[in-house]
Structure 1
Amino acid sequence: MPRFSLRACALTFCMTLGVPVGPAMADAFDCVITPALTVGIGSPVSGLLEDVLVAEGDFVAKGQVIARLRSEVERKTVELLKVQADSDAEIEAQDSRLVLAQKRLERARDLMARKVGTQEQLEAAEAETEVIARERIIAEMRKKVAALELQRASAQLDQRVIRSPIDGIVVTRHLYSGEYLAAEDRVFTISQIDPLHVEAFLPVSVFRAVSPGAVLEVRPDAPVDGVMNAEVELVDRIFDAASATFGIRLRLPNPDGAIPAGHRCQVELPIVGQ
């Protein structure tokens, strides 16, 4: 007898006896466990790879340094600009000149007040003070520019350090130390396996039985044992007319990495007796 006929008979029998009927029954549907995210890791700049620090199968953390490009020139540029940005010598020299010019200006004003100085001397002292004050402002601007140049050079140096953008596992290492990395090349492919995604296609007849936020049981195929709870993240709002199905995606926590990705499974969807 077909499965749905058996279910209908059992339901009729229970209702006849007055036995409560609840959502204890469930349908199982094929699903696939996949990485939550897979990314190809490259670099915004090209160059020779100096160090490739991880290999296939290694776990990496977000922000971890996984490779470096050769960067001798960039490091020396940063060192040079750091010396310039940290130096106050030019500003201090202008401060000393400004103090001396202000003293000369005070003497010129005093002489004018006592009628023993000339207007020309006073104007010359005022002009000298004004010029030195402006030169001090220019010295301060040069120091700020040096600090900005240092920031830019440091950013360029940092671009030659390749970090992992996610927590995950190295799936493929495409290049090795000493090889040339072009702007369009990838050094690694990394997959995030915590959490995992569970993807399934369900018949449109159960569309109203599943919604985002619902927790469903997932049973991986052998040799992985156990039943895991996964939360529905996404329910497709567009049906596939040819197969009369719609897709769902669930979030499956995998903090210890015990559940392998790329594995088949069954997802159980509770069905109210019908």
Structure 2
Amino acid sequence: MARAVAWRLAAGLIFGISTAASAAAESFDCVIDPAIVVKVGSQVPGLLDSVIINRGDRVTAGEAIATLSSKVESATVALMTVQAGSTSEIEAQRARLDLAQNKLARVEELVKRNISAKSDLDAAIAEAEVVKRELALAEMRKRAAELELNRAQAVLEQKTIRSPITGVVIQRSLSKGEYLDQDKQLATIAQLDPLFVESFLPVSKFGSIKVGMPAMVKPNEPIAGTYEGTVKVVDSVFDAASSTFGVRVELSNAGQKLPAGHRCRVSFDGTTD
């Protein structure tokens, strides 16, 4: 009798431990998605002069991935560079101003000695003022040329299409020689670091999942291993049809070793089943 009671107690203890472990190991279906998927187009329409990327290429933010035909814009930049860099007009006006000021000084001295008339002094003052204004206009024209050069360079820069994110090219839609208008996309690029793990949990779990808590993600085969992420989003609006709510986990993917678009299991207690 005592032995039977001991077996029941042992069995109950084992069942309790098994139940607790099962509850601790509870996990949920999830999908590993790219953090961002961008369809890259162009600010301006034009004929593609070069397309540098192909499907599967890794690109960094700001990297040139294609160029549009830009012969006219390049010629404009070259012209404006010469005009903005020229200082000959300003130098000529400064030389004229030096002469006018020297003349004014001589006339002033002559007027003081009653050798020249007051009208000669007025004329010399007026001439110096005119040259000052012409120098100011020359400096303004040079500044305007510099601004025109900046504008021309900005227009030319629009002919270079750059990747807005660091990621991998998952689709290239056009090739060299094709026309790219503002309604078309050149390529689709996905950011794979970090990854977003999306899961839907039963509403009974609402309140137990908090933003900032750790989560363990186990990708389906053939991807091996378990990876720790952090809860970034807990939806506050339920899906009435399925009685679930969404949870997003951010998963670091340095080196982009983990693929996106793959199913997984996620748990929020540090273990997976």
- Shared fold, TM over 0.5: yes
Percent identity over the alignment is: 48
Counterpart for residue 131 of structure 2: 132
Counterpart for residue 5 of structure 1: none
Q: 1:231, CA displacement in angstroms? A: 0.9
Q: Structure 1 residue 230 and structure 2 residue 229: aligned?
A: yes
Q: Given residue 44 of structure 2, which amino acid in structure 1 is its aligned partner?
A: V
Q: Structure 1 residue 248 and structure 2 residue 247: aligned?
A: yes
Query: How many angstroms apart in 1 are the aligned matches of 2:100 and 2:57?
Result: 67
CA deviation vs aligned residue, 1:249-273 (integer Å, no higher than 9, x gap):
00111112221111111112339xx
Q: Structure 1 residue 34 and structure 2 residue 6: aligned?
A: no
Counterpart for residue 62 of structure 1: 61
Query: How many angstroms apart in 2 are the aligned matches of 1:63 and 1:33?
Result: 26
Q: 1:228, CA displacement in angstroms? A: 1.1
CA contact (8 A) 1:67 1:163 kept: yes
Counterpart for residue 120 of structure 2: 121
- Of 108-117 and 175-184, more deviation after overlay is shown by 108-117
Q: 1:15, CA displacement in angstroms? A: 10
Q: Describe the SS at the equivalent of 1:56.
A: coil
Query: How many angstroms apart in 2 are the aligned matches of 1:24 and 1:89?
Result: 84
Query: How many angstroms apart in 1 are the aligned matches of 2:251 and 2:260?
Result: 11
Query: How many angstroms apart in 2 are the aligned matches of 1:17 and 1:172?
Result: 52
Q: Given residue 53 of structure 2, which amino acid in structure 1 is its aligned partner?
A: V
Q: 1:189, CA displacement in angstroms? A: 0.4
Query: How many angstroms apart in 2 are the aligned matches of 1:96 and 1:260?
Result: 69
Q: 1:36 to 1:244 in 2, by over 3 A?
A: same
Counterpart for residue 198 of structure 1: 197
Query: How many angstroms apart in 2 are the aligned matches of 1:45 and 1:16?
Result: 68
CA deviation vs aligned residue, 1:222-248 (integer Å, no higher than 9, x gap):
111111111111000111122111000
Counterpart for residue 164 of structure 1: 163
CA deviation vs aligned residue, 1:120-167 (integer Å, no higher than 9, x gap):
211111110000011101111111111111111111111111111111
CA contact (8 A) 1:23 1:270 kept: no
CA contact (8 A) 2:216 2:269 kept: no
Query: How many angstroms apart in 1 are the aligned matches of 2:100 and 2:183?
Result: 59
CA contact (8 A) 1:24 1:270 kept: no
Counterpart for residue 107 of structure 1: 106
Counterpart for residue 53 of structure 1: 52
Q: Given residue 159 of structure 2, which amino acid in structure 1 is its aligned partner?
A: R
Q: Describe the SS at the equivalent of 1:209.
A: coil
Unaligned runs of 5+ in 1: 1-9
* TM-score, with structure 1 as normaliser: 0.89
Deviating runs (4+, > 6 A) in structure 1?
15-18, 21-24
CA contact (8 A) 1:49 1:70 kept: yes
Name the count of aligned residue pairs: 260
Query: How many angstroms apart in 1 are the aligned matches of 2:212 and 2:37?
Result: 24
Counterpart for residue 183 of structure 2: 184
Query: How many angstroms apart in 2 are the aligned matches of 1:225 and 1:244?
Result: 31
Q: 1:72, CA displacement in angstroms? A: 1.1
Counterpart for residue 96 of structure 2: 97
* TM-score, with structure 2 as normaliser: 0.90
Counterpart for residue 73 of structure 1: 72
Q: 1:60, CA displacement in angstroms? A: 0.6
Counterpart for residue 173 of structure 1: 172
Q: 1:56, CA displacement in angstroms? A: 0.4
Q: Given residue 145 of structure 2, which amino acid in structure 1 is its aligned partner?
A: A
